[in-house]
Amino acid sequence: MGVAETRLTAETFEELAMPLFDQMYNFAHWLAQDRTEAEDLVQETYVKALKGFSSFQPGTNFRAWMYRILRNTFLTSRTGLKASATIALDADDGPELSAGPETPETIFIEHSQHQVLQAAIEALPVHFREVLLLCEVEEMSYQEIAEALSIPIGTVMSRLARARKALRESLQQKLVRS
């Protein structure tokens, strides 16, 4: 392969990969639950993807390919190996309804609700959390999720249903305790 072809491949990679950067970081942050670890995961993902770009099949889903690399990188990281542990939810932060226009109190309540939801999502097992985030946050189709995670589409649907149920139950428990 000549220098011009190598440069073209690198340029093609950049054109495909760079628009995904923010999405990749967000997903990595949700998985790792740590900003520094997320930055490292994304950087390592891009390095691996660039090195292995010649193995990418043109005409297939590049986004799913990148997410698969990110997920595999996470699962082999120290954080990913520890991710099967469930994080307990703090019962003191209960979601409350907003009282009206923005005031310091309503801003605090909205922030508290966000923290409760984030804690509930973070407490999900990784295999539920990743499917839920890819569907709801990254707005991937079931097929894209199946490709990104290398699992059957039926497993995607099953995990998504279970993740939503677990999240709903967790949030309901928080409401009852409040």
Per-residue pLDDT band at 85 (split at 50, 70, 90): very low
Of 3.20.19.10, 3.90.25.10, 1.10.10.10, 3.30.230.10, which CATH number belongs to 104-177? 1.10.10.10
Per residue in 152-168, pLDDT tens? 999 999 999 999 999 88
Per residue in 92-140, pLDDT tens? 444 444 344 556 665 656 656 667 788 888 889 999 999 999 998 888 9
Q: What is the pTM of this model?
A: 0.61
| Domain layout of the chain by residue ranges | 3-82, 104-177
Helix, strand, coil percent content, the chain, rounded in steps of 5: 75, 0, 25
Distance CA 173, CA 159 (A): 21
Work out the mean pLDDT of the chain and round it to a whole number: 79
Residue 19: exposed, middle, or buried by beta-carbon count in 10 A (0-12, 13-18, 19+)? Answer: exposed
- 3-82, what's its fold? Rna Polymerase Sigma Factor; Chain: A (1.10.1740)
Average pLDDT over residues 42-70: 91
